[in-house]
Amino acid sequence: MCMQSLNRIEISRSALIHNFQICQRWADGAAIMPLVKADGYGHGMIDCARVFADQGAAAFGVAEAIEGVRLREAGITQPVLVLAGVMPLTLPLIVAARLTPVVSDPAILTELSSVAAGQSASVGVHLKLDAGMGRQGALPADFAELLDLARRLPHLRLDGVMAHFPLSDDRTSANSAEVLRTFMAATAPLADHGAGKCCLHLANSGGLFYVAGARLDMVRPGIALYGYYPDGAAGRVTAVPPPLRPAMRFASRIIQVRRLPEGRGLGYWHLFTTARPSVIAVLPVGYANGYLRNLSNRAQVLINGRRAPVVGRVSMNLTLVDVTDLPKVRVGDEAVLLGSQGEETITADEIADWMETISYEVLCLFGQLNERVLVD
């Protein structure tokens, strides 16, 4: 009796370990804070956090407090930074779960102090500076006031200061150097107040690999831990060996093999019409699995170690593949949408080009919409 989906996401534990060790090597002594938000970029937040914790992760980064609670319930004891969802509504949960809020608003600091007092707790906080990202954080002109308030409020402990790079994946841009200068100037007063007790961190994956001087006390790799470079395929081409290893593989099974005549329209709106007698394999995968409609007539999959084109409109649960040129294709054969089969590989960067997006979105879509298992 089959109790598993025909569509399966495999996450390689050995690839996660390999990538963590690569990031550790590049960090040159700085602590590693893996980002496991968005369910570990689709790879499974809890499984990934456990793997990284075993490798020496110093802290973890999540978007919302509820993610941090789930890590605590799974036995993760390292600091967990809540990077985005810090607001009055979430503060009691953050304090109760011993999470570390990232704060850029004086009003939130004041409220946090009050909540901590109510729970007889001492809460470590990280302040966020907008050093050029333009998304969240205190502006440089307001940062000194925020810093002073964090030091004065009872029940709070200033554990760190952070900012974020907007263009660290663009190696030709001067922006990252400017962001780094802004960050260092704003945090310079900490040198007079025991800087060793306050963790300074700025580098995401791009900052880790491409921005000189950005490693500071801690680095925050995200996409790199899952096997991809922040600048896409270009990063893999220029990578210093050993390269990162993609951790995700997405495989399905052929549920039908159809022999169709020349001139037959396929799928919704007949976006593809056979130009010859054709053999078409049907896969039980579609946009409900994150395999988006804009992959229609663009994507390729691997069957029997060879590439075969997706033809016709990708629908909610079905995708058609032209296997006319492949020998001995049968019902039940594995079809790989992402990852390796034989000597061939389809990467998230390649799929991202077909989808007109980035590898991050591909991994989140596939990993969060399909049955997932940790392997090796």
Q: Is 37 noted as a catalytic residue in this protein? A: yes
In angstroms, the CA 84 to CA 210 distance is 25
Q: Is 268 noted as a catalytic residue in this protein? A: yes
* Amino acid, single-letter form, for residue 117: A
The neighbour count for residue 270, using CB atoms within 10 Å, is: 11
DSSP 100-146: EEEE--HHHHHHHHHHHHHTT--EEEEEEB-SS--SSSB-HHHHHHH
- Which SS3 state, helix, strand or coil, does residue 354 take? helix
Map tokens 């394999």 to a residue: 281
- Structure tokens given for 360: 């991050």
Per annotation, catalytic residue among 37, 128, 210, 228: 37
Contact 203, 35 (CB under 8 A): no
Question: What phi and psi values does residue 199 have, to the nearest 5 degrees?
Answer: -80, 120
In angstroms, the CA 125 to CA 81 distance is 9
C-alpha distances out from residue 174 to 21, 131, 171, 211, Å = 29, 14, 8, 10
If you compute the radius of gyration of the chain from its CA atoms, what whole number of angstroms results?
24
Contact 187, 200 (CB under 8 A): yes
C-alpha distances out from residue 316 to 15, 98, 186, 246, Å = 31, 42, 50, 26
In angstroms, the CA 357 to CA 123 distance is 39
Q: Could you tell me which of 52, 32, 33 has the C-alpha nearest to residue 44?
A: 52
Per annotation, catalytic residue among 41, 197, 229, 268: 268
In angstroms, the CA 33 to CA 309 distance is 40
Catalytically active residues, by annotation: 37, 268
